[in-house]
């Protein structure tokens, strides 16, 4: 068994095999992220409920999920949840990974939303009230369009952080790139090249994303220093479009 020197043959043989897992890895990333974005909103709502003991309970649960390792949560969902009487049931590795990692990261996303909402000036709420907006319109027309855009860079950061945790899914058998590299390694007794490929793929994907998010962040900062439009479509624009069609 030769473990030391680099072999290009192995590299080129392993590369296409491992690349096949890229779709799964990326698909899992996107699905988990979407799950976290949506479920994060649920946390934002739950941690703002009026009834104090409930609010404390929800915040405590959030804190608990955040301070437990995602790997443990993943194992729990995949191995322990099906054993729970009455409510428990088994899920595929892919679905388990979406839920396990998605719930974990949703607690962070929920905090991001909350910080964005809290940053909206008190006067905006009061103006919405003075103009007699319904609760729904207050949120959809006034608060959310101001609360979310400044948090986009933060949300982007969590996407990258989450992307780097996605290989955890290989531990429950999701056939992503790490899992395939591992199998290749086990079958051929060579780990150097396949794992290098995994590292390269992650670097190639997350480094440009990080740069992109950095740029986005600077752009957002500039925009919000000047308090300029936040990109939501305006009423009169909608109308102009309506008039054209």
Partner 1 sequence: MTESIVSYKDVHKSFGDTEVLTGINLDIKPAEKVAVIGPSGSGKTTIIRMLMTLEEPTSGNIIVDGSNLWHMEKNGQLVPANEKHLRQVRGDIGMVFQHFNLFPHMTILDNCMSAPVHVQKVDKKEAKQLSIEMLEKVGLGDKLDSYPSQLSGGQKQRVAMARALVMRPKVMLFDEVTSALDPELVGEVLEVIRDIAKEGEMAMVLVTHEMEFARDIADRVLFLDNGVIAEQGPPADVLENSTNERLQSFLHRFRS
Stretch that binds partner 1, among 106-114, 130-138, 163-171, 182-190 (CB under 8 A): 130-138
* Least CB distance to partner 1 at residue 38 (A): 23
Helix residue ranges, H only, 67-188: 70-75, 93-118, 122-130, 135-137, 144-147, 152-165, 177-188
For 58, the enclosing helix (H) or strand (E) is helix 52-66
Stretch that binds partner 1, among 66-74, 142-150, 154-162, 197-205 (CB under 8 A): 142-150
Stretch that binds partner 1, among 30-38, 80-88, 207-215, 231-239 (CB under 8 A): 231-239
Nearer to partner 1, 83 or 235 (CB): 235
The counts of H helices and E strands in the chain are 12, 0
- Cα distance between residue 18 and residue 197, in whole Å: 8
Q: What angle do CA 198, 204, 208 make, to 5 degrees?
A: 150
Stretch that binds partner 1, among 6-14, 38-46, 68-76, 120-128 (CB under 8 A): 120-128
From 2, 123, 244, 245, residue interacting with partner 1 (rule: CB under 8 A) = 123
Determine, following the binding rule CB under 8 A, whether residue 134 of this chain makes contact with partner 1: yes
Determine, following the binding rule CB under 8 A, whether residue 145 of this chain makes contact with partner 1: yes
For the chain, the residue count is: 245
Determine, following the binding rule CB under 8 A, whether residue 119 of this chain makes contact with partner 1: no
Determine, following the binding rule CB under 8 A, whether residue 2 of this chain makes contact with partner 1: no
Determine, following the binding rule CB under 8 A, whether residue 133 of this chain makes contact with partner 1: yes
CB neighbours of 5 closer than 8 A, spacing ≥ 6? none
From 2, 5, 67, 135, residue interacting with partner 1 (rule: CB under 8 A) = 135
Residue in 97, 109, 180 with CA at minimum distance from that of residue 151: 109
End-to-end alpha-carbon separation of the chain, Å?
70
From 80, 129, 186, 200, residue interacting with partner 1 (rule: CB under 8 A) = 129
Determine, following the binding rule CB under 8 A, whether residue 171 of this chain makes contact with partner 1: no
- Cα distance between residue 175 and residue 24, in whole Å: 7
Token look-up 């428990």 returns 88
Q: Which residues bind partner 1 (CB under 8 A)?
A: 121, 123-124, 126-127, 129-135, 137, 141-142, 145-146, 226-230, 232, 234-236, 239
């Amino acid at each position: 068994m030769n473990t030391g020197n680099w072999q290009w043959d192995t590299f080129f043989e392993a590369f296409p095999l491992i690349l096949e897992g890229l779709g799964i890895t990326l698909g899992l990333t996107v699905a988990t992220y979407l799950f976290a974005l949506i479920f994060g909103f649920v946390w934002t709502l739950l941690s703002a409920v009026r009834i104090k003991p409930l609010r404390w309970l929800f915040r405590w649960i959030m804190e608990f999920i955040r301070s437990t390792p995602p790997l443990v949560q993943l194992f729990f969902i995949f191995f322990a949840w099906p054993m729970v009487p009455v409510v428990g049931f088994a899920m595929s590795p892919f679905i388990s990974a979406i839920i396990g990692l998605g719930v974990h990261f949703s607690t962070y996303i929920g905090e991001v939303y909350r910080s964005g909402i809290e940053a909206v000036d008190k006067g905006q709420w009061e103006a919405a009230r003075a103009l007699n907006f319904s609760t729904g319109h207050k949120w959809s027309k006034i608060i959310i369009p101001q609360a979310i855009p400044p948090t986009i860079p933060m949300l982007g950061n969590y996407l990258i952080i989450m992307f780097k945790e996605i290989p955890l899914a290989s531990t429950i058998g999701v056939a992503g790139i790490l899992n395939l590299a591992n199998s290749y390694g086990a079958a051929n007794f060579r780990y150097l090249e396949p794992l290098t490929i995994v590292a390269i793929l992650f670097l190639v994907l997350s480094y440009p994303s990080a740069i992109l998010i950095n740029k986005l962040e600077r752009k957002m900062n500039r925009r919000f220093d000047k308090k300029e439009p936040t990109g939501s479509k305006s009423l009169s624009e909608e109308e102009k479009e309506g008039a054209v069609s």
